[in-house]
Chain A
Amino acid sequence: MGLLVKQIGFVLVLLAALTALAISQTVAQTEKKEAAQTDKKEKDGKWETADGTPTYNIGSDGTVDWYTFSGFRRYHSECHVCHGPDGEGSSYAPGLIQSLKTMSYADFMAVVASGREVIRADKQSKMPALGDNPNVMCYIDDIYVYLKARADGVLPRGRPAKRIEKPATAEQTEKACFGAR
């Protein structure tokens, strides 16, 4: 639990810092996307952009990094019953491959952890708060990078055909996250 709380706290700090940035974000989407992918760096099989945001890595032969693959699996266990297969959306929840075209990492984390509600005459939708759910929160970066790859149009629908083996650090982080409860 401790680790989850810390993660959420971190998200809130990030959120405050990034709100201003978010406004100008849509303007230079494409350039940003390309810049993010060229300036990214890797540590123990986990990729992040220059500003420290987790990101995916897809080799020229389509091999995805472990976390993108893990995100595919976890998404289809935890999220797809509302948000549809491959982030495509369903008849009652938005397609996240659209949402993540404009939504920042910080906003994504905040909505997943705390939930969101829209109750109007023509629409009732409720994103549950998943901050207490280790099946989601222990893999939240994985789910984010998977959806980001889908949103950026670089990962096709379905199960990624090739992937990097699970890094030892992923195993350790997983154990620590579940153990912390």
Chain B
Amino acid sequence: MHRHTLPGVLLALTAFAVPAQANKDVLDRSADPNQWVIQTGDYANQRYSKLDQINRDNVKNLKVAWTFSTGVLRGHEGAPLVVGDVMYVHTPFPNIVYALDLKNDGKILWKYEPKQDPSVIPVMCCDTVYRGVAHADGTIYLHQADTTLVALDAATGKEKWKVVNGDPKKGETNTATVLPVKDKVIVGISGAEFGVRGSVTAYDAKTGKQVWRAYTLGPDNETLFDPEKTMSLGKPVGKDSSLKTWTGDQWKIGGGSAWGWYSYDPETNLFYYGTANPSTWNPVQRASADGKPIDQKWTMSIIARDADTGVARWAYQMTPFDEWDYDGINEMILADIDVKGQKRKALVHFDRNGLGYTLDRVTGELLVAEKYDPAVNWTSGVVMDKNSPQYGRPQVVKQYSTFQTGQDKNTKGVCPAALGTKDQQPAAFSPRTNLFYVPTNHVCMDYEPFRVSYTAGQPYVGATLSMFPAPGSHGGMGNFIAWDAGQGKIAWSKPEQFSVWSGALATAGGVVFYGTLEGYIKAVDEKDGKDLFKFKTPSGIIGNVMTYTHGGKQYVAVLSGVGGRAGIGLAAGLTNPTDGLGAVGGYAGLRDYTALGGTLTVFTLP
């Protein structure tokens, strides 16, 4: 590995010599339920709060405590943070950060507004969303749309340092939050619809100096895959595990960006994330020289890397040779649960491809892979027999293979749609019920791939899609479900008219919260999903619900502001191939229910 040069080793030694305060700070504060200091709530991405003042019996009495307009109208993903007496609120482009004084009715302590070239706007595939800042060791980390990473003094909003991670002129942008681990900040990149070459990069938390970068695609010394030590499905990946699964130089514009949520396990020092689709969306253009499907590693994969070195410990590719845009970037939730009668250190992941995966997070062993929406039809399932040459691979149903149907031909009725059974909207896990609470889409599609040519910084898509609510179902476009990841079974499913595009929150009060695209925040019973409370906020919710205390009182907060990928199709409403057959919800567009607006709404008991 070319990065293991002498200065690199010295840097690593220095890092060891200085106590890794940021790690301890995040660990301590995220263990304190009164605060919410990183977007995912904790390193395990459980989105579970030990707070129980608001419970199943009294949640119906929730009232709005205060509100705050962000002054920005685009899609608002992510959530505010609370650190001590201060709340930090971020916005989509232009990526403003506000520090609000909780002791003084949310008075603005400071505001930071970066100057960014607006030409980054159209290079972002699906609205200029931003999934939020992170706090560690007195610093707020802001990763702007134009890929500038900024460290701000949490007390004053003054810049400590900044560094540029990518080039928007090549289609490289950012929408994700960062992961502060030990003395580093780990960041990803967006742009698989523009033919970027995806990567994760670690910067020194104190100085902004780049420590390592690991590409999704390319030679081993750039992907930081060790041919002998990096494992996949129980075997070493071998030499050039990425390169040999690509035709020619296509990997150089092959996508596999890393724009999702990252989790971290302090016990193993591994961080976990997923990689996006290969570029283009036309699988025929990505086939092998003899016209066969070829894996395009390590796109569409779950990857576990060492947080200090970036070297991959294990990887698992969920959708080899993607034919539907099923990015693998959704969150990896770490939980110790019973899997088929055995206690496991598990990683649970709800993929865009409609399968809920449970893996051993230490070894990468595949434990469960089952459909978490019965509508999923592109695969007959994943081969779990370790002796099969197809072990770990999803079996593609010919009728729904856009590759086998071919380019310039329309493959009809594929479920899920490219949006996935779930997109980035994160699920929650409650150790009280051992269930995962998952916001989902219930949408299918027709998909017609065709030839496109690559131009740097221009869309590189190559497919036409039509989307519609899952046929033969309840007519709505979403469900909010509870999932048993040990068994791979849906515990209960609650239909929603629109896709549920908001992150869930589970609490010790027995209440699970989520938002809807019409703008409702809903509180449901952890046992059966029964509605306990709902309130319509000023705009559709694609943000994540969070909770904290101030002055001894529990609050629940959420950002409203419709947009994001949901704002592309759902604003206008989806078409329905069975027009006239009475699917009630499917026709209605989101614009009949809500309009743009970035607002924070904070709730508490009277």
A interface residues, Cβ below 8 angstroms from B = 72-73, 76-78, 80-82, 84-86, 88-92, 95, 115, 117, 119, 121-128, 130, 132-136, 157-159, 178, 181
Contact = CB atoms under 8 A, between A and B. Distances in A.
Contact of A91 (B452, B463, B466, B590): B590
B563 A91 contact: yes
Interface string B276-309: 0000010000000000000000000000000000
A62 B547 CA distance: 55
A95 B572 contact: yes
B119 A126 contact: yes
Nearest to B453: A134
Q: What 5 A-B pairs have minimum CB-CB distances, sorted nearest first? A: A91-B567, A88-B572, A128-B122, A76-B464, A126-B121
Given A85-B572, A91-B562, A127-B122, A135 B467 contact: no
Interface centre among A89, A124, A125, A128 (most CB of B within 10 A): A124
Main secondary structure of the interface of B (DSSP, over half): loop
A159 B572 contact: no
A124 B113 CA distance: 14
Contacts of B567: 90-92
Nearest to B465: A76
A90 B75 CA distance: 11
A73 B575 CA distance: 16
Interface in B431-476: 446, 448, 450, 452-453, 455, 458-459, 461-467
A133 B455 contact: yes
B571 A91 contact: yes
Interface of B: 71, 73-75, 93-94, 118-119, 121-123, 125-128, 193, 281, 410, 446, 448, 450, 452-453, 455, 458-459, 461-467, 562-564, 566-569, 571-575, 577, 589-591, 596
B571 A84 contact: yes
A47 B368 CA distance: 56
Contacts of B458: 128, 130, 132-133, 135-136
The residue in B122, B566, B590 that gathers the most chain A C-beta atoms within 10 A of its C-beta is B122
Contact of B127 (A72, A80, A92, A115): A92
19 contacts: A72-B464, A76-B465, A76-B466, A80-B568, A81-B125, A82-B122, A88-B571, A90-B568, A91-B564, A91-B590, A92-B75, A92-B563, A92-B567, A123-B73, A126-B118, A128-B123, A133-B459, A135-B462, A158-B577
Contacts of A85: 466-467, 568-569, 572, 574-575
A128 B71 CA distance: 24
Contacts of B462: 77, 135
A86 B572 contact: yes
B122 A77 contact: no
A99 to B, nearest CB: 14
Contacts of A77: 281, 450, 452, 459, 461-464
A136 B458 CA distance: 10
A17 B236 CA distance: 67
A52 B94 CA distance: 43
Please indicate which of the listed interface residues B71, B193, B448 has the most CB atoms of chain A within 10 Å of its own CB.
Answer: B448
B516 to A, nearest CB: 15
A95 B128 CA distance: 18
B93 A124 contact: yes
Contacts of A158: 466, 575, 577
A128 B450 contact: no
Contacts of A136: 458
Nearest to B448: A73
Contact of A86 (B121, B127, B563, B575): B575
B569 A84 contact: yes
A176 B458 CA distance: 20
A122 B121 CA distance: 15
A86 to B, nearest CB: 7
A157 to B, nearest CB: 5
A173 B118 CA distance: 34
Contacts of A132: 455, 458
Contact of A126 (B122, B448, B590, B596): B122
Contacts of B590: 91
B279 to A, nearest CB: 13
A135 to B, nearest CB: 5
